[in-house]
Structure 1
Amino acid sequence: MKRVAIIGVTGAVGQEFVLALNKHPWFEVKQIAASERSAKKKFEDAIRDPNTGILRWHLREPIPDYVKNMTIDAVDDINPENFDLIFSSVESEAARDIETKFAKHVPVISTSAAYRYEADVPILIPGINDDHIGLLDIQKKNRGWKGFVAPLPNCTTTGLAITMKPLLDKFGAQKIIMTSMQAMSGAGRSPGVSALDITDNIIPYIPKEEDKVRLETGKILGKLVDGKIDPAKMKVSCTCTRVPVLDGHTESVFVETATHVDPETVKKAMKEFSNSVSVTGLPSAPKEYLMVNEDPTRPQPRLDREINEGMTTVVGRLREDTVFDNGIKYVLFSHNEKMGSAKGAVLLAEMLYKKGYI
């Protein structure tokens, strides 16, 4: 068993880590940490509202027994040399300093954006760009670290990159236009989304989100050449919106390919890709990595968010587009708090462990 710590354990993503690591066959949570406000409290007490006594546990599953009475430490109280791996869910400005401190000694798997856009830091999605793993060795050498930082992509990027992988490899995707309909949970609990803002409403702006998707998609689907990532040569334009859905991001995607391709051929390529993804044997890997649903009313967040415990990206309404000369369009659904967050980070850690990086 590898000894792991969770940083930022009381937040929405930290709670997802608590659940994703419950009874994990390879990783054992030995220490948890959060802000000074929560330090020295038991986990269950730290997430209890001091005014109402209500637990701020936002997941449908109950709090795992192993963590209820664990005492939360301050971040500075964690000795990285006592661990094989640290999971970081810190989203504040402090994330970079915290992750730098620990990566000097031990691998850090992060859900924050602090290191995503550094030249020697890959943004990894297991089965999508495994060849970028070699950049971790360059990162360690460049920085003189024993460990490394391996960040997840933005949760909105995850589903798009997964579905675009076979389109880029098989058909030479050149342009992408995407509109997202993102769940409220993607904004976190604090400050989150005001009920008065989101009820009976759609908010057509999420700060920095569109640039993140554009930059990350190109980086993830690019090639590692001479120790650097050469971004994929395709243009990405997106509009990111917040909608009154609890969990799961839906995206409407339009793609221009290098040559004409019909929808049935694209469906076949997506299914073949899903069957070939190299995540077999990883405990958190879904049975189906990418699912194509023939029902014209799918995907839907309420119906599809629990497929394979939220780890499957679902595609539907795959059809020919009539604006692009060689156009395909589809709707995708990806669970922002599972594959796009902590459970996806655990899947990444599993892959790195199997490849000898942890």
Structure 2
Amino acid sequence: MRVAVLGATGTVGRTFVRLLSGHPWFELSKVVASEKSAGKAYGEVVEDSPEEFEELEIVSLSDFIKDPDVDLVFNALPASLSLEIEERLAEKIPVFTNARVHRYDDDVPILVPEVNGEHLELIEVQRARRNWEGFIVTTPNCSTAILTVSLAPLREFGIKRINVATMQAISGAGFSGLSALAIQDNVIPLIDGEEWKIENESRKILGKLRGERIEPASFSISAIATRVPVLHGHTEAVFLELERGDVDDIKEAFDSFDPLRKLDLPSYEKPLVYTDVPQPRLHRNRGKGLTVTVGRVEKGENGFKYVVTGHNLVRGAAGGSILNAELAYRLGYLK
């Protein structure tokens, strides 16, 4: 399948391009960026481009919209540019997007393949309601993606309440998101809109598909999001109350969680690995960045606690979106 990456020169866009190098199913045929970059070779703008894409000519967004000529789109554009573009493209072409603008639509899944692959059934609801040949599938906020991978195995114990504090890498803010002076020797205990996303997206992802809509999970969740001076890898301290289970049960659930293992997806990696002390510098690239590392599972006075870390640009963004497309392809939603 011929694919395009929108926003291909940005932080997430570059990650998409890198991960698509040598992909057996998806052939990257168009890299799309601003008018400023249009007409230049991708390797001229992105110095660490994979060799196979160095000579690929960058297409402007306006020209691409006129004539997409691809089978599939990965969107790494900012939310401010994405709403109308995604809907226009989805009339004919499947769109897998990292933008937030359609995450909260009733007929659009926020997909984490190991957690809620059944939500892909909403694709047919979209097509029927909107008279589209294509569709839109979104990835969650990067912290939500990492958190929900760790929560999914615990559903069997009855999740009642979650409190989470995130320690998020600076690459999550993009190239120009933070000045060096702001983050150096500092922790910034506010990321605008992030806590609302974590709380609401987690409940949708872990909710159940009922007919043509998702019924959000019933647990309560409260988040505090902070930015820390780490380049890549979000770390989260999770405190939760369960209806049943003990520490050994939780560790066993983490260890055995592997729902995609038999699907033979090109990007497949084991989604969860237990390590006593998870750390972004040591563990963010585990499983080529798709594996989430969890540890420090302990029982406290009011429930359980653990620490989880994962690569925000891979599991939390581009890699998760590619895995979404692979699952959709395997299940027959892509032709």
Give the TM interval when normalised to the shorter protein: over 0.9
The 4+ residue runs of structure 1 with deviation greater than 4 A are none
The equivalent residue for 2:42 is 43
For residues 154-200 of structure 1, give each alpha carbon's deviation from its aligned partner in whole angstroms, at most 9, with x where no partner exists. 000011111111212x110010000000000000002x211001000
Equivalent position to 2:173, from 159, 182, 187? 187
Equivalent position to 1:75, from 50, 61, 67? 61
TM-score, with structure 2 as normaliser: 0.96
The equivalent residue for 1:171 is 157
For residues 279-328 of structure 1, give each alpha carbon's deviation from its aligned partner in whole angstroms, at most 9, with x where no partner exists. 64111111x211111x3xx1011110111111111111001021x2xx11
Deviation at 1:206, TM superposition (A): 0.1
Deviation at 1:345, TM superposition (A): 0.9
Secondary structure at the counterpart of residue 93 of structure 1: helix
Whole-Å separation in 1 of the counterparts to 2:67 and 2:116: 28
Secondary structure at the counterpart of residue 257 of structure 2: helix
1:292 counterpart = 2:274: yes
1:113-124 maps to which residues of 2 (within 5 A)? 113-124=100-111
Whole-Å separation in 1 of the counterparts to 2:253 and 2:86: 38
The equivalent residue for 1:65 is 51
AA of the residue aligned to 2:157: F
1:271 counterpart = 2:255: yes
Whole-Å separation in 1 of the counterparts to 2:168 and 2:202: 17
Equivalent position to 2:123, from 114, 136, 160? 136
AA of the residue aligned to 2:18: L
The equivalent residue for 1:338 is 314
Deviation at 1:101, TM superposition (A): 1.3
Whole-Å separation in 2 of the counterparts to 1:311 and 1:280: 16
The equivalent residue for 2:81 is 94
Whole-Å separation in 1 of the counterparts to 2:242 and 2:189: 28
The equivalent residue for 1:108 is 95
Equivalent position to 1:301, from 280, 296, 306? 280
Q: Are the counterparts in 2 of residues 279 and 351 from structure 1 also a CA contact under 8 Å?
A: no
For residues 117-167 of structure 1, give each alpha carbon's deviation from its aligned partner in whole angstroms, at most 9, with x where no partner exists. 111101111121011111111011111111001010000001111111121
Secondary structure at the counterpart of residue 124 of structure 1: coil
Structure 1: runs of 5 or more not aligned: 48-54, 56-61
The equivalent residue for 1:32 is 31
Whole-Å separation in 2 of the counterparts to 1:270 and 1:13: 28
Secondary structure at the counterpart of residue 39 of structure 1: coil
Q: Are the counterparts in 2 of residues 126 and 279 from structure 1 also a CA contact under 8 Å?
A: no
Q: 1:11 to 1:201 in 2, by over 3 A?
A: same
Q: Are the counterparts in 1 of residues 261 and 268 from structure 2 also a CA contact under 8 Å?
A: no
1:353 counterpart = 2:329: yes
For residues 245-274 of structure 1, give each alpha carbon's deviation from its aligned partner in whole angstroms, at most 9, with x where no partner exists. 000000000010123x21111101121223
Q: Are the counterparts in 2 of residues 4 and 29 from structure 1 also a CA contact under 8 Å?
A: yes
Equivalent position to 1:246, from 202, 210, 231? 231
Whole-Å separation in 1 of the counterparts to 2:189 and 2:195: 11
AA of the residue aligned to 1:90: L
Structure 2: runs of 5 or more not aligned: none
CA RMSD of aligned residues (A): 1.3
Q: How many residues align?
A: 333
AA of the residue aligned to 1:283: P
Secondary structure at the counterpart of residue 112 of structure 1: coil
Deviation at 1:71, TM superposition (A): 1.1
Equivalent position to 1:154, from 122, 141, 144? 141
Q: 1:10 to 1:336 in 2, by over 3 A?
A: same
Q: Are the counterparts in 2 of residues 122 and 133 from structure 1 also a CA contact under 8 Å?
A: yes
The equivalent residue for 1:199 is 184
Whole-Å separation in 2 of the counterparts to 1:100 and 1:279: 33
| % same residue | 42
